[in-house]
Amino acid sequence: MKTEMITLKHGDVSIKMPSSALAKLAIASFFAQVLPPAANVQPVAPSTIPEIGQPWPGQGGLNGGFVHARGEVPAHYLIIAAKDVGDHKWGGRGVEVKGLSKTDGYTNTQVLIGNDDERKYPAADACAEHQADGHRDFYLPAAAELYQGWLNCPKVFAQDCYYWSSSQRSANTAFVMNFGGGGQDFGGKSGELRVRPVRRFFI
């Protein structure tokens, strides 16, 4: 069976191709325009991923390692701010804030900074206000995210103090992490402890 050929002309240029090939090009062009941008984004090339604990250019901090998808949170890299943002109280002592988890620091922080009980949550506020490389989506890490930091790159944190997580233990306490020995504990919300923002780089 003879292949049907189609000739395309543009100015003085002519291109002859099989009709089936032209159909494939037309379909590919259509989907490239109608699919959302994320569908056309290429995965991060391994050669562009810095070593764990090293600065990730343009991402606002250090590579804290890969995090598998969990629940409604897609797979991503944890980006750890290059520096602490001081010592702060957790805040809200005596109030058991609803909707906090041990794994999702971003949601925890959004709940805390948007809480309507007229109490301040300084540790979460300090992280949410942090900016680097044009990124403004930093948050106070959850207990599990701090633990990942200890597993992957403990030396990028101070070794002689405790860090607040955004994970609450009770109305009066929240979970904390020590990077010197890897111990997780809990502290009173009115105490001032070290704070390090993180953000997510989705792939």
Mean pLDDT value across residues 188-198:
98
Distance from the Cα of residue 125 to its chain's centroid: 17
pLDDT in tens, 63-106: 999 999 999 999 999 999 999 999 999 999 999 999 999 999 99
pLDDT 10s digits, 2-57: 556 556 565 665 555 565 654 555 554 544 454 444 444 455 666 689 999 999 99
| Long-range own/partner contacts, residues 186-189 (CB < 8 A, 24 or more apart) | 187/90, 187/162, 188/93, 189/89, 189/90, 189/91, 189/92, 189/93
Q: What are phi and psi of 40, to 5 degrees?
A: -105, 0
Where exactly are the structural domains of the chain? 5-40, 46-202
* pTM score, whole prediction: 0.78
What confidence tens digit (pLDDT) does each residue in 45-54 have? 666 899 999 9
Q: pLDDT by residue (tens digit) across 94-152?
A: 999 999 999 999 999 999 999 766 668 999 999 999 999 999 999 999 999 999 999 99
State whether the Cα torsion 170-184-67-64 is positive or negative.
Answer: positive
Pairing of strands 87-89, 192-194: antiparallel
